[in-house]
Amino acid sequence: MAVAEKMRSAGRVLAGMFGLGAQKQPLETADMLADFVATRSAYVSQKKLYGYLKTRMGTRYPTMFEDEQFIASINIAKAHVFAACLSDMTLFAVADVGAQGRLSRDGKDALARQCFQHGLDANADQLAHADAAAGWNEAFEARLADVQWDNAAAGGDVFGTSPATLVEWAPIAPQLKAYDREIVENSLKFAWIEIRREYRRLIDPEAVAADFRQQM
């Protein structure tokens, strides 16, 4: 495969998602919520991963796509960063939908599991490191066991896993990451601000919660 095609292939999903902000249809069902969580997690994870690589590598960025090992490393990183973004975004959205008694603790946990699994399933073709799925699910279950849903709904920061995971898995030399960590993590945290703003504009939490209660 030519270098240009490899670069197009690596960024194809990301490039196709830059129009996400134009969505106007309200989020009124659990399935719509799960789709939103999955697509925005994919968008943020790929935008920030490829952006970090391009910034750090500069003019060498295109030539790195001649290196099959580097491409494999990107695919592994992409999978782990997406799973972390999916975990963060799921907890944020479910905490909001389930707040004010709309869902019980068990209901919130169930909706969170549904959203997380939907995200993994919907992006299965992008998760080259699929053998890690069991670990992602185990880590997510551990977060569910510890999450304080009321605190999360009141503004507790649930977006801490994805920034750390981006730095951990990006195929960049460790000594460079030491200098980059604060900037890269803050960049990803800032990216979530626009996603949360879009979520607030579209969500109908009462409708989503009612729809999910009917499924239980």
What's the pLDDT tens digit per position in 25-36?
Answer: 999 999 999 999
- In a domain, residue 194? The reply is yes
Q: What stretches of the chain adopt beta strand conformation (E)?
A: none
- In a domain, residue 58? The reply is yes
CB count, 10 Å around CB of 2? Answer: 9
C-alpha triplet 206, 30, 140: angle, nearest 5°? 110
* Backbone φ and ψ of 50, nearest 5°: -65, -35
- Report whether 30 contacts 211 (CB < 8 A): yes
- In a domain, residue 100? The reply is yes
Residues whose CB falls within 8 Å of the CB of residue 197, separated by 6 or more in sequence, listed in order? none
- In a domain, residue 94? The reply is yes
Q: Nearest Cα to 214, choosing from 31, 48, 78?
A: 31
- In a domain, residue 181? The reply is yes
Q: Which domain holds residue 192?
A: 29-203
* Tally of domains in the chain: 1
C-alpha Rg value of the chain to the nearest Å: 18
Residue 8 has pLDDT above 50, yes or no: no
Confidence band (pLDDT; 50, 70, 90) for 15?
A: very low
- In a domain, residue 208? The reply is no
Which of 6-20, 23-37, 90-104 has the weakest average pLDDT? Answer: 6-20
